[in-house]
Amino acid sequence: MPAIPPVAPRRPHELTAHDHTRRDDWYWLRDRDDPDVIAYLEAENRYADEVLAPARELEDRLYADILSRVRETDAGPPSRHGPWWYYSRTEEGLQYPVMCRRPDAGRSMRAADVAAEARAGRPADEEVVLDENLLGAGRDYLAVGVFDVSPDQRLLAYAVDVDGSEEYTLRFRDLAAGADLPDVIERVYYGSACGASGESFFYVKPDDAMRPWQVWCHKLGAGPADDRLVFQEDDEHFFVGLALSRSRSRIVIHSSSKTSSEAHWVDAADPDCRVEVIIRRQPGIEYDAEHDGQDWLIRTNRPGPDGSPAANFALYRLVGGDWEEVVAHRRDVKLEGVDAFAGFVAVAERSARDGLERLRIIDGPDQHVIEQPEPVYSLLAGQNPDWDQPTYRFGYTSLVTPPTSVDYRVATRARERVWTQLVGGGYDPSRYRTERIWAKAADGARVPVSILCRNDQRDVSPPGVLYGYGAYEMSSDPTFSVSTINLVERGMVFAIAHVRGGGELGRAWYEAGRMANKPNTFGDFIAAAEELVSGGWVRPDGLVARGASAGGLLVGAVVNTRPDLFRAAVAEVPFVDVVTTMSDVTLPLTVTEWEEWGDPLHDPEAYRTMLAYSPYDNVRAAPCSPALFVTAGLYDPNVGFWEPAKWVAKLRAVGAGSPDRPVVLRTEMGAGHLGLSGRYDAWRDEARIQAFILTQFPGQD
């Protein structure tokens, strides 16, 4: 007998704005303290378990396949910080990494040798800096949000979140003694910096709506009540970030909205913590500042010397009050980031023509781009904590190439592979192929789509998964995943739609998918899906849409618009109740997010635009709706757990969900936006989702 889904009672609630009234029958589900809400979420979890029970054997096999490809006991790539090498290691059966270090006072050890020795076993001189497994013992969730070693390498500042709320508790550890100091600071956020003496520590605190807005200075040994407020951002559109410059002489405070920014600095050796502004904020002008040891390097979209726009950013050196151009603005290249070192500058770029990332090295008057070995790839951030180093560390990967850490020696332009993720289970990259194709959107825009499949799949038209995000100018780059291989090995195609709203093709690509242009994001995804089918990559009845958070909004919107295109969909912590959430200023992110999505509370046009695509407000009956796997986190500060819960309740009310195309909701009752934190738990969750997908395509398991 088929499992019977729970029914959330209707409790009508009216929401009125701009002379328009909406009725929300499930508004009551937002109250986490209501026992009826918890009971409903638990009932949904039980229903999901019943629906997924027949696929448990398949889930177990998928989970075992992931484990077979993972080297469970391993060590990560080492990075030099002063006279020490720092790296993480994992142990079979343990959920979390162990952070370690080895001494190298003479700086004679090569990174590749340190990596190989750590992988071979625990070196005799290895020290444990922080064992996250001890911190997470007996807990369902653990995340470390601050990990900051003092300049003299004596102390570690670390902050821990134990429920996914992203509220962290900050502590300080004496690394020689391996014991925590009595100093404890509650409710801190991401971002940190150590003062030059090692006796003062700067941290960020959020306001009641979880907006990071203050920077405080703590003196070790003093009580939190004696901490000094260094900086406060009163404009609710701005978030505050904090970091120590690599030169270790400046503490930089960035205050940024979605459309403008401002940076301040504090001398790391100044006991009075005097704050100086670098450039006053101006509407529409964004910048960030990197200290090159003497001057500020400014990456900015401010108009050029001739007044021409610089949407893709340019790089300047600020000398006194003068702006010296280092890298000019280019219409076809987005300048994404800058790292300054004693002897060179590394610049991250992205082509607005093909979306590929590049690294440019500025060595005195000379500039050159580091060549990469594959036509479609992704570059990953590398650890480069030292100021005076001859190499630049970066990561490299593609859909078929496991992550690799590379040290690039600037003087000789030689690259050395330091570390590569080891992949077991008989993985052979030559059995797979990756391509970049282009779909045509309704308005003529060319949308890049990255594809991974088996070599023997091109003429078969198998089922496939299409992933998308498309928000905040974030790029969904093609990276390797041991879990994705599960689906591809079973004959499925995996594709990424690089839709507008992301940053893949420069600032213009982002602008074309935000605010009033947001519907372009959904149209691009539909165009990518249609191209996969018409091009013979995927069979017509074989597509699965997948996305998380803002990508979950994307999934919800396209499922409403074109349910016929998708056999199934996976929406993880989906942002689906757009208008209601963006009208509630008591929620985290709302005011700041108005510059991303629009302000439906005060702007009637924004209200109408958002209402037209909001997945929750546009649920309607469909002749054959896709099977749906939806997730939520009870303590999620970014997307309230009630959004997916309300959406599922409303979908069921219009007839979605059937024994062969079920709608299931799983809420993690002890986690937040990122789900369960342990690696084994995450792999198990992924295996469960993959089993759900594969059951929609008998014969693919």
Which of the residues are catalytic? Answer: 549, 636, 673
Please say whether the beta carbons of 493 and 487 come within 8 A: no
Euclidean distance between CA atoms 154 and 173, whole angstroms:
8
> Nearest to residue 195, comparing CAs of 246, 271, 295, 254?
271
> Sign of the CA dihedral 236, 238, 241, 245?
negative
> Nearest to residue 485, comparing CAs of 462, 454, 523?
454
Beta bridge partners of 621: none
> Nearest to residue 268, comparing CAs of 392, 148, 147?
148
| Beta strand segments in 431-492, E | 432-440, 446-454, 464-468
> Nearest to residue 215, comparing CAs of 289, 295, 273?
273
For residue 245, the tally of other CB atoms under 10 A from its CB is 20
| 148 CB-contact burial (10 Å; exposed 0-12 / middle 13-18 / buried 19+) | buried
Contacts of 638 (CB under 8 A, 6+ apart): 166, 549, 573, 588, 589, 672, 673
Helix (H, G, I), strand (E, B) or coil at 525: helix
Q: How far is CA 82 from the centre of its chain?
A: 29
- What phi, psi does 624 have (nearest 5°)? -150, 90
Start-end of H helices in 54-210? 56-69, 111-120, 132-136
Secondary-structure percent of the chain, ordered helix, strand, coil, rounded to 5:
25, 35, 40
Euclidean distance between CA atoms 607 and 580, whole angstroms:
10
**Roughly what angle, to the nearest 10 degrees, separates helices 679-695 and 56-69?**
130
Eight-state DSSP code of residue 42: H
| 186 CB-contact burial (10 Å; exposed 0-12 / middle 13-18 / buried 19+) | exposed
> Nearest to residue 407, comparing CAs of 100, 113, 103, 74?
113
Please say whether the beta carbons of 439 and 527 come within 8 A: yes
The total number of residues written for the chain in this structure: 701
Q: 578: which 2 tokens?
A: 């757009």
Element (H, E) at 596: helix 590-597
| Beta strand segments in 477-521, E | 493-497
Please say whether the beta carbons of 17 and 600 come within 8 A: yes
Eight-state DSSP code of residue 134: H
Q: 539: which 2 tokens?
A: 């069979």
